[in-house]
Amino acid sequence: MAKIIHEKLTVELRTKDSKGGPITVDDAKAILGWQTEEDAGKDFGTDYRFKVDGDKVRLTNNPTNRPFRMTLAKRYASEMFRNKWALNGETIIIDRKGFIQSAQHRLVAIVLAENMRKADVAKGKDNGWRGPISVEGILVLGISDKADVVDTLDLGQKRSLGDVIFRNHDFKGMGEKAQKGIANVLAGATRLAWLRVGGKLVSDAPHFPHSEALDFIEFHPGLGESVKFIFEEDGGTGADGKRLSSDISLAYAAGLHYLMTTAKTNPDKYDEDGEVNVTLRDKADEFFVSLASGAGLEKGNPILTLKASLKRIDASGAMGRDEICGTVIKAFNLWLDGKKADKATAIKVKRTKDKTTGKVVLAETPRLGGLDIDRDPADYEAEAPAPPEPPKTQKGKKAGKAWAEGDQAWVKEEDGEHWFGTVKEVIEVDPEAGGGTSVELTADLDGKTYEAKPGQLVINKPKD
């Protein structure tokens, strides 16, 4: 039985101005009980928590915590490396026996972030790090280790990007309900614009950190203006409302409106100094006013054809949402050039079958120009190919059942995002560290290895 280390409950503030200073990598490792094979002087075999740069790692002070998710730790590490992590009042909770009950991912992230800094010192300096990474925090030491106490931790609802935007923005002249609605529209519009400005698509589904979203909004103030315009043009939920949202989500309408507004931007000038040209704002407004009302549209008008086409596109999946974007863009480009679209085929996004998987995919990616172009892979991450369908030999395999090296699976994260990968290794977790099974997978999207629990793995792509 583990001995009592903390006899009474205490709170310790760790900041740059406090006696102990901020939490360093060495502090984080000590709290975690970080141990490698070299530290232990023996081969761990399959008895370890995860690998870092090929080294097997145990966390000896983390035996009763919830399952560890390497993907989450890496997300936190990215925020720390970018110097976006802040002291926000959340605590690192350690029980009376010295075991971590809340903060395993944050503490591991400190170690990972420092590894990132060492691997790219110049980038670290750009982010404001002139030496080893450390993080300010609050330690709560000595809580009870009884289940009825520990099981009350981390039960709060995760903040969505809409929640974060709602708290960070003042939408003047609106009631709270309307503010919540427009915050969620801005969240979706920001993600869409961020994807397309980076040369990606909705079906690429990369993670979008909240801090990066707020930076993007600040850098693109016109995006908020587009959201307000689309939100007001929709007209609310009354009898005269839903003029746009009956055909297209307001988030996608707002994101596309902003990209239309900036379609005359010189990409080189934008890349060099962030210069944005918004001379098409009036045209973007006119396009969506006509789409909302439908008034005075004669046969052959691309907007009239678009209204009919949008009703036929299934928006439940990522490919469908990319198809909606492409269809709207095709219609806008024809309308802007004064051309007609007598038939739906004039604005329909072409489809094809992937020769390897037989899966139906989009054969083209219509772009508006300006901010919305295919980016140079030398400056931006190259667009990832659509992940293949799992082999038919796996058909029927259920979540959490006997996964093996070489199996292909979809991984569903707690925040609703999902990705496709190949099982690299199935690991039996140390019984003293909670037991169970952990699975390492190589993600198709970026070729990196991540960790998941068997219950997160499914054979068929999860619903968005």
Is 409 among the domain residues? yes
Q: Nearest 5°: phi and psi at 239? A: -60, -35
- Mean pLDDT throughout 316-334? 92
Residue 405 · residue 422 · CB < 8 Å: no
The model's pTM: 0.59
Asked which of 107, 131, 150 is the last residue of a domain, the reply is 150
Choose the weakest-confidence range: 59-68, 340-349, 408-417.
408-417
Tell me the one-letter amino acid at 36: T
Whole-number pLDDT of residue 161: 76
> Helices 250-261 and 176-197 sit at what angle, rounded to 10 degrees?
50
Highest mean pLDDT among 23-27, 310-314, 410-414, 441-445: 23-27
Rounded to whole angstroms, the Cα distance separating 254 from 226 reads 5
* Shared domain check, 142 and 170: no
Q: How do residues 202-214 score in pLDDT, each as one tens digit?
A: 877 677 778 788 8
* Shared domain check, 328 and 349: yes
* Shared domain check, 345 and 216: yes
Q: Is the pLDDT of residue 397 over 50?
A: no
Distance in angstroms between the alpha carbons of the first and the last residue of the chain: 45
* Shared domain check, 167 and 307: yes
Is 234 among the domain residues? yes
Q: Is the pLDDT of residue 430 over 80?
A: no
Q: Is the pLDDT of residue 382 over 60?
A: no
Residue 95 · residue 145 · CB < 8 Å: yes
* Shared domain check, 250 and 139: no
Is 381 among the domain residues? no
Rounded to whole angstroms, the Cα distance separating 397 from 403 reads 9
* Shared domain check, 189 and 129: no
Residue with tokens 């002070």: 61
Is 280 among the domain residues? yes
Is 171 among the domain residues? yes
Whole-number pLDDT of residue 158: 62
Rounded to whole angstroms, the Cα distance separating 321 from 334 reads 20
Is 368 among the domain residues? no
Is 294 among the domain residues? yes
- Domains contained in the chain, number: 3
Q: How do residues 57-90 score in pLDDT, each as one tens digit?
A: 999 998 877 778 888 888 899 999 999 998 988 8
Domain of residue 171, residue span: 161-362
* Shared domain check, 43 and 77: yes
* Shared domain check, 223 and 117: no
Asked which of 125, 150, 175 is the last residue of a domain, the reply is 150
